[in-house]
Every structure is written in structure tokens, then in C-alpha cells.
């Protein structure tokens, strides 16, 4: 992108010229540059998906921003993560428009043969609010379900598996993570039980 310096042609210019180029002078910073004239978007040509996305951003997202502003602790959490030029509002909207990420599901070193513990690492803009875990047999029958507990102030969540049948050797583990705007992500994997041998190896 071409930048402009002090010269008799571009000095002091800002805004559009002939609907061909736009001169920009940043209010925060010293850059002055020229870019092409923006293309006009025909709102009638927007797809239903685009319309839903915009409605979610401007209507529902704005509502979440108002909720955050009314909650001092939550607003402070966003402000603590904001690094200039990004501000709390930017992070709130990003959080609202994105889903949490489940990074890994692994045996935790605190596991024992009598008390297997699964560790889930899940993250988002300011962290994850809740993690639910469901253990199922391969045919889909639910063996155990509940909420994992956060490990300190980290992105790790622990779920203790008190299995009713000690003969169980493999289960499907379904994990669902929720962020603060209540977006969610779900993932499943097969787990060997008991998995204490996995940790020893």
C-alpha cells in the first residue's frame, strides 16, 4: 500500500478523490496512505447466510456487549485480555461470533486404577465457562455424565470417572465446552479404561 509523505500534491489530503482513490490519515499513528475506492455492496445480493451473520453480529452481538457492560467482573476480564489497538468491545464481539476450541482430551497424571481422571484442555477469547462430559458405551448407552472441574486458573478441566462397572475396557468420551456468550463446541473420542497403564508407559 503506497504511503504519502510531505509533498505539494498530497499534503493535507484526506478522503476520496474522483471515486478512484481514498487518502487516509490515521488518527492513532503517523501513517498517511492511499488506497483504492471501496466497492459498493449491493445489499440485495447478500445471501441468506450473510444476512444471518450480519443480524447475529449487529443485533444479538450488541445485546451481549450491553450485558457485558452491566457485569463489572466480566467486563474486567475482557479488558485484561485486550491489547491496543484491540479494545474490550472488539474482544467481546469476537467471543460472541466464535466458538470455543477443545485442544486435547487426555488421561491426567492424578489418575489411579480406582479413580481414572480425564483432563480436557479447552480455550477461547477469555477462557471457557463450562465443560460437560458424557461417557458412553460403543452402542451409545450412557454410562456416566457430569461437569468437569476447572484446574486452578488454567485452560485445563478435570473429570473424575467413577465407573459403575470395573470390567469396562473402552468408552466413547463426549466433551462439550461452552464459552461466556454460550457458544459451544462438541467433540468425541474413544478412550481405553482403565487407562492407568497408558500413563505408566
Q: How does pLDDT run across 1-58, given as a tens digit for each residue?
A: 554 555 545 555 555 555 666 666 665 556 666 666 566 656 566 677 776 766 767 7
Q: What topology does CATH give the domain 101-200?
A: Immunoglobulin-like (2.60.40)
C-alpha–C-alpha distance, residues 54 and 177, integer Å: 25
Q: Where are the domains of the chain?
A: 1-40, 43-97, 101-200
Residues 95-138 have pLDDT tens digits of 998 999 999 999 888 877 677 899 999 999 999 999 999 999 88
Q: Write out the E strands in the chain.
A: 15-17, 21-25, 32-36, 101-107, 117-123, 130-136, 142-147, 149-150, 156-160, 170-178, 184-192
* Grid cell digits, residue 29: 499513528
Number of C-beta neighbours around residue 126 at 10 A: 19
| End-to-end Cα spacing for the chain | 55
Amino acid at each position: 500500500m503506497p504511503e504519502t509523505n510531505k509533498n505539494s500534491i498530497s499534503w493535507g489530503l484526506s478522503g476520496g478523490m474522483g471515486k478512484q482513490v481514498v487518502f487516509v490519515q490515521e488518527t492513532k499513528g503517523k501513517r498517511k496512505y492511499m488506497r483504492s475506492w471501496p466497492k459498493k455492496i449491493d445489499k440485495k445480493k447478500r445471501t441468506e447466510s450473510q444476512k444471518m451473520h450480519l443480524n447475529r453480529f449487529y443485533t444479538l452481538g450488541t445485546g451481549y456487549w450491553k450485558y457485558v457492560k452491566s457485569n463489572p467482573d466480566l467486563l474486567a476480564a475482557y479488558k485484561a485480555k485486550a491489547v491496543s489497538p484491540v479494545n474490550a468491545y472488539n474482544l467481546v464481539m469476537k467471543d460472541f461470533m466464535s466458538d470455543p476450541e477443545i485442544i486435547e482430551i487426555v488421561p491426567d497424571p492424578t489418575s489411579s486404577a480406582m479413580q481414572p481422571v480425564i483432563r480436557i484442555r479447552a480455550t477461547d477469547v477469555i477462557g471457557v465457562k463450562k465443560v460437560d462430559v458424557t461417557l458412553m458405551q460403543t452402542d451409545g448407552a450412557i454410562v456416566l455424565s457430569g461437569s468437569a472441574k476447572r484446574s486452578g486458573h488454567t485452560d485445563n478441566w478435570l473429570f473424575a470417572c467413577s465407573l459403575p462397572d470395573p470390567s469396562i475396557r473402552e468408552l466413547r468420551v463426549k466433551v462439550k465446552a461452552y464459552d461466556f456468550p454460550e457458544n459451544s463446541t462438541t467433540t468425541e473420542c474413544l478412550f481405553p479404561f482403565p487407562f492407568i497403564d497408558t500413563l505408566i508407559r
